Chains A and B, each alone.
Chain A
Amino acid sequence: MQPVLSISRRHRIAALRETVAGMEHALPGATPAYLPFGLPEIDRHLPGWGLTCGALHEVIAATHGDRAASFGFVVALTAGSLAVRRGPAMLIAARRCFADFGEPYGHGLRRLGLDVGRLVLVETRLDKDALWAMEEALRPEVAAAAIAGAVEGDLDLAMSRRLNLAAAGSGAPFILLRPPAMAGTSAAATRWRVTTAPAARDRFGTFARCRWNLTLERCRNGRPGHWLIEWDHVAHRFGLAEILADCAPSAGAGQDSRRLAG
């Protein structure tokens, strides 16, 4: 019982800290706020209990096939940020980023819990323009709730430093989606690698929640880690997948029962 209590107390302190940070945000020289995952297992690995707002965070798909999953993770983080912060969300991408698997779909974004009405899409022809647009969006007067970017090419260290600096000025979480197999050095505060995983299912065997294998590869002032997480789009909350408690029937059983029912 004791650890549970302490966790909830820590949560409360974290929430209070966030509220205070939000109040102080308008003042110059404010301390950075955090975007907590709400999972002590993950937040423990990050400095200051959560993703640092006002810093660059990289998300990389493990393979080409995981690009949808990595974009889903970016959308989930954006949705989480929109739920707790004021302002619009920006999604800035070079056109090539969505050439393979299609464009973000409004109803699909909504299904992940994103407030589509507050989303502004920026589509550019080149990576260069997209990076410029991200810097513009990171100006403090825009006061965005979250900024998500996607580039298709490589990002050099100097550019990532620039973006990180711009993000520090903005105070909004800045999540950059990068293509698989691009893992050079960068000034990002964290780097996440996402692999898709079989979805969480309810007891009738139907789809309940998305699941992703999440690897925290690099983290400034934190520790790397690996988790299997799921995104609850209704509560805007991440959860750790409990494999053992998953009561979904296996594929074969599902087929059988359906046939019986038919």
Chain B
Amino acid sequence: MLVAPGKGGPRLVALNRAAEEGGLVAGELLSNARSKILDLQSCAADPAADDAALQRLALWCLRYTPMVAPWDEVNGADGLFLDITGCAHLFGGEAGLLADLAGRLRRFNLRPRLAIADTPGAAWALARYGRADSMIAPPNGAERALQDLPLAALRLSEETQVLLRRLGFRRIGDVIRQPRAPLAARFGAHFHNRLDQTLGRAPEPLSPLAPPPVYRAQASFVEAITTQAHVVEAATHLLSNLAEDFTRDGVGARKLRLLLFRMDGELLSLTIGLAAPSRDARHIASLIALRLDRLPSGLEADFGFEAAGLHVLAAERMPERQALLAVADEIGDPTGLSRLIDRLEQRLGAGAVRRIHPRQSHIPERAVLLRHATDGPPAEWAIDVPCNTRPLLLLPRPEAAEVMALIPEGPPRQFRWRGVLHQVAQAEGPERIAGEWWRQAGDEIERDYYFVEDAAGRRFWLYRAGLYGRDGATPQWFVHGVFP
């Protein structure tokens, strides 16, 4: 059993069956419990681990329905809502689904209490306070099914419950039959809201785990699969199932999630992004294979995967193009390039494939921006701006150089950089680049750039930071780039 610090000392939070049979109840002081049972074993409760476990279970439940919502604080945060609208028939009706779920959960050594009802509130009440471990309320039969349940099943605050009990209400059936107005005046709108939500008269929005993808495919396997080749094949199969929907709607997948359900309840989830929408099963399967190669500890298929799901997280309109006679435009055949980018990103990691975008700035290192190639080609380079002398290779940060100049503000005569002395044969400049005063950096000082060629014909880009005679300090020189 688990304890947590509470009012007056550690109190019991959760009990196992043996403790319950010993007459203990949750909320009791640990010292009282010890006096009742001598050889009591207790552990500290770990709510964070509980949450994580519930989250894992919620992900696992995605095998039944895409709408899974963990209970929030008000609901006790120890269970899940599954919206099985339109899903039950896949598992042999509601009863079949419930039996399947109960069987699997028992195999995980859990003691589930399950209920199916018209509303989340009614299902919650039945699961919490119902007589049997798994119950099904018939459609529109929530009122009758709930009649005998205690008032706590309405998810009311503690004071409201105490007050209602003092007024003589014990069961839900008692309050349903009462006129609404006096009760509303006494307990506020919240009371009736809860009642209506439970009975399906008011909507109760759930916050599902993940937004349900519009395109998804699911497959369970007769025998668990363990090898990577089989996983890729299964994914290809799922994709070809989706291909028809894609073609019908004229869209392609831009981002996918492959879910692999392992026999022991673990879930492996892979997200795959594409540079351009695609509906080609073979191409996406090859990306999945590359992604599986990149898993840090390989494909951990201890017991094998019993089911797989493929959710399309983002789909985009895909222009139809003729397969063979497509005329490549200036940028080139976009499908070939975007597929290459996909493959490279899957193997080398996101951010390995980039394009250079221009940026409006005078400061050389700020004047370009490297962005993911999936963002598309830059349009701005096409604008014909006169370009000044700029180096082909720019050092990641300017490196200090010892420079000798004939006159203080003049071009360098010779300089030592990385331990090598360069005699300057030709120097052009200066090009003065002032700091960007609107950036409020404060330490931005103007730089005088010189294009310098040494005696061997090597070309460098040097700058002097600041001017002579300011603050009495000697300005420093830096090498910022090299020319071809």
Contact = CB atoms under 8 A, between A and B. Distances in A.
Contact of A124 (B328, B329, B352, B391): B352
Interface stretch (B50-58, B258-266, B307-315, B381-389): B381-389
Interface residues of A, number: 60
A66 B393 CA distance: 13
Contact of A116 (B378, B388, B425, B484): B378
B28 to A, nearest CB: 58
Which label, helix, strand, loop or mixed, suits the secondary structure of the B interface? mixed
B393 A101 contact: yes
B20 interface: no
Contacts of A137: 340, 344
B69 to A, nearest CB: 41
A197 B484 contact: no
Contact of A198 (B353, B357, B395, B453): B453
Interface string A115-151: 1111111111100010011001101011111000000
A118 B358 CA distance: 13
Given A106-B368, A122-B352, A210-B484, A142 B392 contact: no
Interface stretch (A185-193, A201-209, A214-222): A201-209
Contact of B355 (A66, A76, A119, A211): A119
Contacts of B387: 107, 110-111
Interface in B343-399: 343-344, 347-348, 352-358, 364, 367-368, 370, 373, 377-379, 381-382, 387-396
A143 B458 contact: no
A136 B346 CA distance: 12
A199 interface: yes
B158 interface: no
Interface size class of B (residues with CB under 8 A): 35 or more
Contact of A141 (B336, B395, B396): B336
Contact of B393 (A108, A136, A198): A108
B328 A87 contact: yes
B328 A105 contact: no
The 9 closest A-B pairs by CB, nearest first: A72-B484, A87-B332, A105-B394, A106-B368, A107-B390, A106-B356, A102-B395, A108-B392, A117-B381
Interface of A: 65-66, 68-69, 71-73, 75-76, 86-88, 98, 101-112, 115-125, 129, 132-133, 136-137, 139, 141-145, 196-199, 201, 205-207, 210-212, 251, 254
Given A104-B356, A111-B389, A129-B347, 8 more contacts: A68-B482, A86-B332, A111-B390, A117-B382, A124-B352, A142-B336, A211-B457, A251-B425
